[in-house]
Amino acid sequence: MAQQHLDPTDPLSGHLGPSPTGDALAGYLRSQATEFLRALRQHRESGGTAAGAEEPADAARALRRSVRRISASLHTFRPLLDADWSEALRPELAWLSGTLGMEHAYESRLERLLLALHRLSGAVFPAQPRAADVSAGSRAVGTAPVGTAPAPAQDRGSLTVGAAKAGALLDRQLTLARTRAHSTALQALGSSRFHAVADNIAVLASEVPLVQKAVATDLHPMATAAQERLEDAVTALPLVTAGHPYNAEALVHGLSPDPSPHPQDAPWHQVRLLLRLHRYAREVLTPAVDVRLLTAGQCLDRHRDASEAAAAAASAARTPRIAPATAYALGVLHADQRHEVEAARFAFQQCWQKQAVST
Amino acid sequence: MAQQHLDPTDPLSGHLGPSPTGDALAGYLRSQATEFLRALRQHRESGGTAAGAEEPADAARALRRSVRRISASLHTFRPLLDADWSEALRPELAWLSGTLGMEHAYESRLERLLLALHRLSGAVFPAQPRAADVSAGSRAVGTAPVGTAPAPAQDRGSLTVGAAKAGALLDRQLTLARTRAHSTALQALGSSRFHAVADNIAVLASEVPLVQKAVATDLHPMATAAQERLEDAVTALPLVTAGHPYNAEALVHGLSPDPSPHPQDAPWHQVRLLLRLHRYAREVLTPAVDVRLLTAGQCLDRHRDASEAAAAAASAARTPRIAPATAYALGVLHADQRHEVEAARFAFQQCWQKQAVST
């Protein structure tokens, strides 16, 4: 659909050809709404059957994908859309996106942690087949999660036992969380609240509630504002530190008593959201994909994933009555994921620096 | 004594002026033997008195410094020295260097670990004054180590308690090891074995047992051979991987059941020793200090220190009946030090690359 386009000409500043107006926004919203309806149909057709195990996950992903884009457009191009309609719909989209995303988040968090434990404990760690199993993505929305007994800890020394027990503990905790998220998502998809959102989006697929002036309004100033919000937030990041490898910043206060000891992550999470808003705003203006923006976004996704995985390891370590070897493995795992956080910041800095030079 | 000299002219290949021969080696050995005797006198004069607390540590350092250099020269310039004398003295110097170095090694390991725990747990960690206390270097050979009770763990949440308890545990274990090393070093310095070595070095201060041909033999080929052994060993290191920040290599198998899970460290330790042999061989030929060699050596010292600190944290985690929170903190600490290992490799790679370009 969108073609790869490496030309650094920035559609937000280049202004080649006639400027897109509210018409372009309406077209974009209609196509995203259509995507949503197609994904919803696909999800309902395949829902719950074992045969199409991959399909519900794909459909759920497609649903989230279109919901994020519609929500972002409502935010960035707010002045061009009917205010009452837009203000009513946005929190509903946020609720839907959050609800549908939780199961996948727990699933990929567990996969990330088990793969890390496998890497840390060498080839003998029994959890490896579990990780591969989880990564097959066979447990997403629409398929019933399969409860599995933890692999027995092999007596190869307390550290490996610790890694195996840590893996089993994380598996129990995150599988339980995922199962709950799965039920919540299924309930949500059957609720009247969801049907109201779906009806709203069905209307959007044919008729976008633009304000009268929208048709003649240039979209660029609003898209540029989104870009500037991103750039301001990036400027406030500690990029100089992040650009020095092994700065040991991400693990600072890793043993602090503060239950959320990493407020340092918040500005990066914020930049991740602003980058996504900028990317979606850009999509409205041009079909060209900015590969550098995608890469920068992937760095920040990795940052967020590692940050949450590290928190899950720390949280599992607070489980009462765990063995010291289990706690030790969780400590190693926590630090490993915090270094992944630091590595992701470094990668973002490198990517962003290139971007700044080439545009 | 040796002046700073940044001229990249390599004394091992440049051959400016008349080539140094066995005479230069004899002069170097005499001066190192004299240094040894002076440090020994200083150590005996200040030994054990509280007033000169810094002096025994300085004297012990100076003793080790000259022993390392004499030992290295015996190795590198072996063909020029009386074989029987040299073969008899070298293992004695290795014993002395090893015995005198242990106390300082335990002391700096504890300091490194407590500082890391402090960094990881934020400003509230009670072990901080301990770390500063230890770093004052007041407990080296010749002063009686002071046993201190562990700071009480403050109830600020299990993670901080864990950090405080981990600090207290490491303090107990490494202080005990240091106290034993201290006694062993004192015993060694009073032993007839030591007096035989000291007598040998006293003779060396006036009369170096060169073979007859030594006076006319160019030292360069032997020094160059030492340099080539270093360069071959560096070539075998995984420098490409080390040059990619956050390669996550150092922590691989960190939870492996193998009691020495980091055979990957050995080639780096070996390069550290070969670099020191090259540096000391170079000292015989020229008074010019090669700052890049010093820096590369410091990277490898840091690598060795972090590697051993990580092992000490893992070893402490195997103490029976520790609390899970303590084990968790030790796991975080272990991973932190393994990342220091990785950071040191990266720093060495950067330093070595510069060196390769500029020479």
Nearest-angstrom CA–CA distance, A206 and A208: 7
Low-confidence ranges of chain B (pLDDT < 50): 1-9, 48-52, 123-156
Residue B206 neighbours by CB under 8 Å, 6+ apart: B30
Identify the pLDDT of residue B333. 96
So what's the pLDDT on residue B126? Answer: 43
Tens digit of each residue's pLDDT (9 = 90 or more) over A150-196: 334 333 455 578 999 999 999 999 999 999 999 999 999 999 999 99
Q: Identify the pLDDT of residue A254.
A: 76
- The residue in chain B having the minimum alpha-carbon distance to the alpha carbon of residue A155 is B257
Minimum distance, in Å, between the CA of residue A115 and any CA atom of chain B: 12
C-beta of residue B160 within 8 angstroms of C-beta of residue B121: yes
What is d(CA B29, CA B22) in angstroms, rounded to the nearest whole number?
10
Q: Which residue positions in chain A have pLDDT lower than 50? A: 1-9, 48-52, 123-156
- Judging by beta carbons within 10 Å of its beta carbon (0-12, 13-18, 19+), is residue A236 exposed, middle or buried? exposed
On chain A, the residues whose CB falls within 8 A of the CB of B157 are 257-259
CB atoms A163 and B255 under 8 Å: yes
Cβ distance A110 to A145 under 8 Å?
Answer: no
| Chain A (157-216) residues lying within 8 Å, Cβ to Cβ, of chain B | 157-160, 162-163
pLDDT of residue A13: 54
| Chain B residue at shortest CA distance from A323 | B324
B107 touches chain A (CB under 8 A): no
Q: What angle do CA B178, B180, B184 make, to 5 degrees?
A: 115
Interatomic CA distance for residues B316 and B326, integer angstroms: 10
B343 touches chain A (CB under 8 A): yes
| Rounded Cα–Cα distance for residues A180 and B65 (Å) | 64
Percent above pLDDT 90 for chain B: 72
B244 phi and psi angles, rounded to 5 deg: -95, 110
Which of A169, A318, A328 should be substituted to probe chain B, the one whose Cβ sees the most B Cβ atoms within 10 Å? Answer: A328
Residues 123-162 of B with CB under 8 A from A: 124-125, 156-160, 162
Smallest Cβ distance to A332: which of B119, B124, B254?
Answer: B254
**8 Å CB contact of B257 and A159:** yes
Q: What was the pLDDT predicted at B119?
A: 92
A-B interface: how many C-beta pairs under 8 angstroms?
A: 168
Contact: B343, A256; criterion CB under 8 Å: no
Residue B94 has a pLDDT of 96
CB A35 within 8 A of CB A62: yes
Distance from the Cα of residue B68 to its chain's centroid: 10
DSSP string, A185-214: HHHHHHSHHHHHHHHHHHHHTT---B-GGG
Q: How many residues does chain A have?
A: 359
Phi, psi of B51 (to 5 degrees): -60, -45
pLDDT of residue B254: 76
Cα–Cα dist B23/B216, whole Å: 8
- The 3-state secondary structure of B64-98 reads HHHHHHHHHHHHHCHHHECHHHHHHHHHHHHHHHH
Provide φ and ψ at A289, rounded to 5°. Answer: -85, 130
Give the pLDDT score at A142.
40
